[in-house]
Structure 1
């Protein structure tokens, strides 16, 4: 059987561990929506900005084009059920029901934040880049919420969630 470069690419990317986040926002009608993502990184420190990549065929992918803001909620190892819910891995849990996992609050209209996230970044949508199946969201960070306790980061590698052995200290 002939291996295609895209097959090798997928296998190679499975070997790259990524921090797990839930990207959250709201639909045009105000319903909260979100998804689990590992393709998140800082872009610049001045001004503070980040990049989040999401599938454009998701509710959030449709909503983000009309939403002025979104949040990136970093997950700890103990928040694995939140990651599973927002990744669609829990049978019968979709849409707003995902927000029954974890404690969510909305300090800014249309931007749900995970209350005990090790770090949450509230972003104003600066730019959307449409690339094949995904959207690259460039967000200008307007607020950062840091949890007061230390946490073990939740990682995703080789198609599974794993706990880091490294503890992140509180600020």
Structure 2
């Protein structure tokens, strides 16, 4: 194992142990859940829909906790509440798409977040969906989609950290991203010098 990989694995293990209440190093006082949520509400996060289909059914969920892990191999991380119906279905199917929504898809985000109490088939009927190589559905109006296979999942607190290997990408031109900022939808424009 390379030194860089060993350091990376140690850093991840340390971070997970710290979150799980077993810090490898002593830490300061913890902040409350409310203070933590208030602080993170100031971070701009992408709005995505994670979608899956397979032997265990079709499901999707709005997710703003998605990030890249590495590009060799291309891997992303999605944090999904363990109480979410989609969590178990994604993990059981072993495939998912990560659909980065466009600025005009706020309503779709709400539907997959559970607003309106729509069933899964009703949620999927609110947009045009296709199927990718993995068998997972992708939103045809999304700004970008990653087609993925689940490679690992770790339970941390209330969430599953789902690691997924990216097998293919679809990108649309001319669309602005949907983001979440200060508990409201937002979008982004390139900064000018």
Aligned Cα RMSD in Å?
A: 1.7
> Which of 53, 76, 80 in structure 1 is aligned with 2:102?
76
Distance across 2 between alignment mates of 1:39 and 1:121: 15
Q: Which residue of 2 aligns with 1:160?
A: 184
Higher strand content, 1 or 2? 1
Residues 93/166 of structure 1: CA separation in 2 closer, same or farther (3 Å cut)? farther
Higher helix content, 1 or 2? 2
Q: How does 1:7-156 map to 2 (within 5 A)?
A: 7-26=34-53, 28-29=55-56, 31-89=57-115, 91-108=116-133, 110-147=135-172, 149-156=173-180
Distance across 1 between alignment mates of 2:54 and 2:94: 11
Q: CA deviation at 1:119?
A: 0.9
TM-score (norm 2): 0.77
TM-score (norm 1): 0.87
Question: What count of residue pairs does the alignment treat as equivalent?
Answer: 161
Contact 1:34/1:86 (8 A) holds in 2: yes
The answer to which structure, 1 or 2, has the higher relative contact order (CA under 8 A, 6+ apart) is 1
- Structure 1 residue ranges, 4+ long, deviating more than 6 angstroms after superposition: none
Task: Mark the structure with the bigger radius of gyration.
Answer: 2
**Residue ranges of structure 2 left out of the alignment (5+ in a row):** 1-30
